[in-house]
Amino acid sequence: MTTNTTAGPAPGSLLPDPMTLSDAQQRGAHCVWCEAPLSNTAAHDLGARPLTLSEDSVFWFPRCCPTCRRGRA
């Protein structure tokens, strides 16, 4: 099976602050920029990112839609 997801940040992309994003955006179900729902075949993986909350370290999983990826390439 072939998908369009690749790891690593999109060129020239600055990610929004994860604390301003919805749960769906933080876990990669929606685009981090436009909030569009994402399918596994159309989403571009921006790579797991560490996030420190108080004393806990967690990861968030930003992904973006093809339109936002093209606009930031």
pTM: 0.75
- Choice between 72 and 68, residue whose per-residue pLDDT is larger: 68
CA distance 57 to 53: 6
CA distance 26 to 17: 10
Report the pLDDT value the prediction gives residue 9, as an integer from 0 to 100.
47
Lookup: tokens for 44: 């571009």
Burial 14-37 (b: 16+ CB within 10 A, else e): ebeebeebeeebbebebbbbeeee
Q: How confident is the model at residue 53 (pLDDT cuts 50, 70, 90)?
A: confident
